[in-house]
Structure 1
Amino acid sequence: MSEMTGPASFGRVDTDGTVFVRTPEGERAVGQVSGAEPAEALAIYVRRFENLTVEVDLLEKRLKGGALTPDDARKRIAMVRANVHDAAAVGDLAALEARLDALTPLIEAKNEERKAARAAQNEETRAAKEAMVAEAEKIAAGTDWRGGVNRFRTLLDQWKALPRIDKATDDALWHRFSTARTTYTRRRKHQFAEQSAKRDESRALKEAIVAEATPLAHSTDWGQTSRDFRDLMQRWKAAGPAPREIDDKLWKQFRALQDTFFDARNAAQNEQDEEFRGNQEAKEALLDEYEPQIKPDADLARAKQLYRQMLDRWAEIGKVPRDSMRGLDNRLHKIDQSIKQREEAEWKRTDPQARELATDTARKIQAQIDDLADKASKAEARGDAKKAKELRASIDTYQTWLEQAERAAHDFGA
């Protein structure tokens, strides 16, 4: 028989058909095949060895790929090891056991990897849940009564999709999240109940306003009723919103009452404006007549006399159309202001206190000039030309000031 290689080299067949396998512990019988050639008999047990090899290969692959947990891997290795150790197979069984032994450090490495991955996932989950809790607490403290509901629903779905972390931390975070959600729900219900009560109150106030406005709609007391409607509008705005459909209905009623009154008022005022159009023309003519004559800067007394005459005639003419009031009033105001400004300037010019102050200032400056002149004369007498020159220069300066003071006194009528 030729020399065998591969798994078959670890076995032999006795003359009686008994098949043996060689192991580090020695040779042991694994079975007997009668009436077969030795090669055929060995082939049967080699195939069994090859099946064990496939099983070890698969175990290695699953473990390296992370398909097995460390505990499952240990159990599976122990099972395969038992099968290999007592296997009725021919092949390098010791090598298979060595491969199984080599998987133990790999299990530990995979176990550490799983721990690290689990720790990283736990940290990521914890951070995500803490962020969700912080957002939930912020929403609970806020007043977004519509968007907050949807956001809480989304946060809850996201929370459920996350894995659990250690029980103590997970329970504490969930308690905070749940508390925030409950707080928000209670505050929201309270807010809506309060809003509902306010809307009911607003409804009653606006119904009362409509009731008050109803008789005013046909009033012809234009001034007072206009003020009444303005007051009602202020009360309407202050009342706040009623329930939507009711609020719209009440507003249409109130607006219709306002329109009825103001349309009638505008029609009456337009008719009246046409009646007053002649008064407008008369007042424009009056202004055209007096504006060139009233010249306060030239003759204040005459200007005041003409202005009084014009005002008497102005009052006799009567009312003018509304659209001409501003223009006429502006022209009249301009005349009035020119007279008042001139009166103020005249008063300042003749102010006794100011006149006395200007006169006193001139006297003091003159006294200073006289004193300087006396000192200059004495300096010249004793031959001190330099000192005399300085004093004469000072006199020139004071003389300029004196002229200014005298002009001011003259302006005040002194």
Structure 2
Amino acid sequence: MTTDPWGRVDDDGTVYVRTGEGERVVGSWQAGAPEEALAFFRRKYDALVTEVELLEKRLRTTDLSAAQAMSSVEKLRTAVREAHAVGDLDALERRLDALTSQAEERRAEQKQAQEQARVEAREIKERIVAEAERVAAETTHWKSGGERMRQLIDEWKAAPRTDRPTEQALWKRMSAARNSFSKRRKAYFAGLDQQREQVREEKERIVAEAESLADSTDWGPTAGRYRDLMQQWKTSGRADRASEDELWTRFKAAQDRFFQARNAVFAERDAELRVNAEAKERILEDARRELAEISDPREARARLRDFQEAWEEAGPAPRDSRDRLESAFRRIEEDVRRAEDQEWQRTNPEARARAEATAARLRDSIAQLEGDLAHARERGNERKVREIEDALAARRSWLEEAEKALNEMS
């Protein structure tokens, strides 16, 4: 009988392996020496050792899942227990037990990591859903809102998945938000279409009236009405682009036809009024020269009336010179009126009496202050002297102005 620390070959060729539970038959060898039989079955043991070592390395150096690791361990455990091999099978069992513990630890770690990943995925998708609901409820910028909603859908698709019930509940909210936004946008544009149709009808009315006025010769009222229609156009809003462009073209054509006709008539009329403007230019020149030589305001007023009558008789001036001529003549009239006012102020008895009274009061006040000044100097009261001198200087200045006004009234 040939023996080995972990097995033996019996005289009849039966091969045994020794384990903690005792010996068990692993094979039979009839083809050669017993040593060859033990070597053959030891090689089978070495193959098992290699598989265990490979699994140990995979578990140590790769991200092998716990489930795959447990499956591999169980397969190897079965292979070891049923192995037709000679070697320390109990040691392999112990190494497989260690691998089972490591796989259990990995399963716990992976479970925790998966739970954390689900929590993070839920937070990400809750944020996406919350923003989608906000866009659906608040956004009125439809283009940017629609683009943002599409981006959120893409973010949802790219985000990791959480547990199935949570995933389904969040997607239900996401889908509801998208549908709500679509309904609000459709309702807005439906209302906008209705509003634009109302604007189009209003502008149709404006254009129809503008076209009815295009050939009017009632220049003033019609021009005013065109201004009113333009204001109505601006405040009525906007129709759809095609209608807006077409209606504006019609409105502008009607308006241009009226104003071009009016301008042609006014241009012809202005040409006829050039003679009037030349006459008024001569009246202005004569009025400036003659009125400047008259010193008596009453005589100036009488002469001005002659110029005013001549001005009216000259007739209207063309539009391009009317304002300038009228402003110049108004300035001449204002100069005459101002000269009359000054003369009246100068000769007004009441004003002269008030001026004389003021001058008399100032003289009395000056006389009183001069007496007070003498007494203050006699007593040597320097502070009082300075106060009285300041008061005297002020009143003498006032008296000078009052006497100047009286001289001008003389």
Q: Is TM > 0.5 for Structure 1 vs Structure 2?
A: yes
The answer to whether the 8 Å contact 2:297/2:343 transfers is no
In structure 2, distance between residues paired with 1:51 and 1:60: 14
The answer to whether the 8 Å contact 1:280/1:324 transfers is yes
Residues 292 and 142 (structure 1 numbering): CA distance in 2 closer, same or farther, change over 3 Å? farther
1:181-192 alignment runs, 5 A limit: 181-192=178-189
Instruction: Among all aligned residue pairs of Structure 1 and Structure 2, give the percentage whose two residues are the same amino acid.
Output: 42
Amino acid aligned to 1:406: L
In structure 2, distance between residues paired with 1:9 and 1:348: 149
In structure 2, distance between residues paired with 1:354 and 1:116: 108
In structure 1, distance between residues paired with 2:44 and 2:173: 61
Most deviating of 294-303 and 82-91: 294-303
Residues 32 and 254 (structure 1 numbering): CA distance in 2 closer, same or farther, change over 3 Å? same
Does residue 226 of the first structure (1) align with residue 223 of the second (2)? yes
For residue 64 of structure 2, give the secondary structure of its aligned residue in structure 1. coil
In structure 2, distance between residues paired with 1:228 and 1:265: 14
In structure 1, distance between residues paired with 2:384 and 2:213: 89
Does residue 240 of the first structure (1) align with residue 228 of the second (2)? no
Name 1:271's counterpart in structure 2. 268
The answer to whether the 8 Å contact 2:366/2:396 transfers is no
Q: How far is 1:359 from its partner?
A: 6.5
Q: How far is 1:386 from its partner?
A: 0.7
For residue 84 of structure 2, give the secondary structure of its aligned residue in structure 1. coil
Q: How far is 1:31 from its partner?
A: 0.8
Residues 202 and 126 (structure 1 numbering): CA distance in 2 closer, same or farther, change over 3 Å? same
The answer to whether the 8 Å contact 1:355/1:409 transfers is no
The answer to whether the 8 Å contact 2:369/2:392 transfers is no
For residue 32 of structure 2, give the secondary structure of its aligned residue in structure 1. coil
Name 1:158's counterpart in structure 2. 155
Partner of residue 118 from structure 1, selected from 105, 114, 120: 114
Does residue 254 of the first structure (1) align with residue 251 of the second (2)? yes
The answer to whether the 8 Å contact 1:217/1:257 transfers is yes
Residues 247 and 390 (structure 1 numbering): CA distance in 2 closer, same or farther, change over 3 Å? closer
Partner of residue 21 from structure 1, selected from 10, 13, 17: 17
Deviation readout 1:60-117 (Å, 9 max, x if unpaired):
354442232x344334323322221332123332332233222234324423442443
Deviation readout 1:384-408 (Å, 9 max, x if unpaired):
5313x55544432222111232244
Q: How far is 1:209 from its partner?
A: 1.9
Name 1:32's counterpart in structure 2. 28
In structure 1, distance between residues paired with 2:75 and 2:11: 34
Residues 105 and 234 (structure 1 numbering): CA distance in 2 closer, same or farther, change over 3 Å? same
The answer to whether the 8 Å contact 2:363/2:399 transfers is no
Name 2:379's counterpart in structure 1. 385
For residue 15 of structure 2, give the secondary structure of its aligned residue in structure 1. strand
The answer to whether the 8 Å contact 1:349/1:411 transfers is no
Most deviating of 336-345 and 273-282: 336-345
Partner of residue 202 from structure 2, selected from 183, 205, 217: 205
For residue 399 of structure 1, give the secondary structure of its aligned residue in structure 2. helix
Name 1:324's counterpart in structure 2. 321
In structure 1, distance between residues paired with 2:122 and 2:343: 87
For residue 20 of structure 1, give the secondary structure of its aligned residue in structure 2. strand
Name 2:77's counterpart in structure 1. 81
Name 1:400's counterpart in structure 2. 393
Deviation readout 1:108-142 (Å, 9 max, x if unpaired):
44234424433443343234323323432332212
The answer to whether the 8 Å contact 1:361/1:405 transfers is no
Which TM-score applies when normalising by structure 1?
A: 0.79
For residue 146 of structure 1, give the secondary structure of its aligned residue in structure 2. helix
Q: How far is 1:284 from its partner?
A: 3.8
In structure 1, distance between residues paired with 2:51 and 2:17: 19
In structure 2, distance between residues paired with 1:400 and 1:102: 121
Name 1:409's counterpart in structure 2. 402
Residues 395 and 237 (structure 1 numbering): CA distance in 2 closer, same or farther, change over 3 Å? closer
Name 1:132's counterpart in structure 2. 128
Which TM-score applies when normalising by structure 2?
A: 0.79
Structure 2 residue runs without a partner (length 5+): none
Residues 55 and 243 (structure 1 numbering): CA distance in 2 closer, same or farther, change over 3 Å? same
Deviation readout 1:341-389 (Å, 9 max, x if unpaired):
7778888889999988877766665555444444455567xxx5313x5
Name 1:67's counterpart in structure 2. 64
Figure out how many residues of one structure are paired with residues of the other and give that number: 403
Amino acid aligned to 1:125: A
Residues 223 and 385 (structure 1 numbering): CA distance in 2 closer, same or farther, change over 3 Å? same
Residues 34 and 255 (structure 1 numbering): CA distance in 2 closer, same or farther, change over 3 Å? same
For residue 220 of structure 1, give the secondary structure of its aligned residue in structure 2. coil
